[in-house]
Structure 1
Amino acid sequence: MKDAGVDFTPADEAPATGGALADARQAVRDNVAKGREQATEKARGFAEEGKVKASEALTHFSQLLTDAAAQVDEKLGAQYGQYARSAADRVQGFSSTIDQKSVDDLIADARALVQKSPAVAVGVAAGLGFVVARLVSAGIDQRDA
């Protein structure tokens, strides 16, 4: 008996023990948690940026409606111009609401809408999906041209 029960395997070639496997599992869990946290932060950043852009676009659209109201007054009458001003006020109010709420509040409002009116939510989602599909299709067609 030459080795008399002594292990001559170098430490870096030793088989993984239960402790090393547990450490590896914990490291994977930590990396997954870190990745999830980074993805959440990035998504939140994109959502904040989208919220700001949407608010700006709605404010701009409201201003366009207000500017057009004067022309509508001249061409069609004050009653129709008032419709345009009323629409501008509603769009501006919606823009202000978006601007004042946090992304979390907007998500909570969307969830509440889906719970109250699932049919409306499905209809809106289908409409938005159709619009996005058309925009993507148009972008692909322009790229190929």
Structure 2
Amino acid sequence: MKKIILAVVPAIFLSLVNCKKSEGGNKEVIESESSETSVENNNGKIDSVSTSSSITEVNGQKTEKTSNIYKATDGTLVKVIFETTPKESTMSIRNNNKTFILKKTGSTANETIYTKEDMTAKVTQDSIHLMQGNNIIELKKTKI
């Protein structure tokens, strides 16, 4: 029994001495960087509506995605993503695990029009008017 204790005590002592922590920390860990992102609307002011935007460039082709949360008149929240590529501009509307993708068909000074089959969306700066047959749904940008 004494032989076991004499063998174990030095092993524990050596492991405690060798596991001493240094104040510098692990030099192999890369510290994460944080950045603040603010979304600005067309007039340069910070937008208070929940909006996220990203621009990616692959082989000189820029793609811009803007995501907004809209609220219908019945209180339902809808996620709308606008995507602009060199080939086309689309708008995708997601609600109740369904996504509708509409293509841009025209625009005026105040609104942009997206269509797919019998569905038409007229987008203004802070609202969307969805029309499908006799149904009209109005969506407004919202804060979350």
Query: TM above 0.5, one fold?
Result: no
Q: Which structure has greater helix proportion?
A: 1
Scaled to the shorter chain, the TM-score interval is under 0.3
TM value normalised by structure 1: 0.21
Larger radius of gyration: 1
TM value normalised by structure 2: 0.21
